Amino acid sequence: MSEHVTITNANFEPEVLKSTLPVLLDFWAPWCGPCKMVGPVIEELATEYKDRLKVGKVNVDEEGDLATRHSVVSIPTLVVYKDGEIANLSAGALPRRKIVELFQDFI
């Protein structure tokens, strides 16, 4: 079972902005090669950090509004939220240790 939450425009506020945990958002699409490379790592991190970090996935094809609001121009884009604010972000496929570096100071 996956530990991530599918983030939509409808649940963005309660799941991300009002989350008591830091949130790692993965903006992705099913046709994106680099997203497919990063996806399994994101799933591992969702399980490994499940009590300290919420992991959300945003399908940019289905949630174009959220992608636009976050100025996503390339995917994958990873955005870290802490206390309802963007705390860190990165575009492009990253190795596991770099993804962890994005959120480790906030957990």
Could you list the active site residues?
Answer: 32, 35
d(CA 7, CA 15): 7
**Environment class of 1 (CB within 10 Å of its CB; exposed 0-12, middle 13-18, buried 19+):** exposed
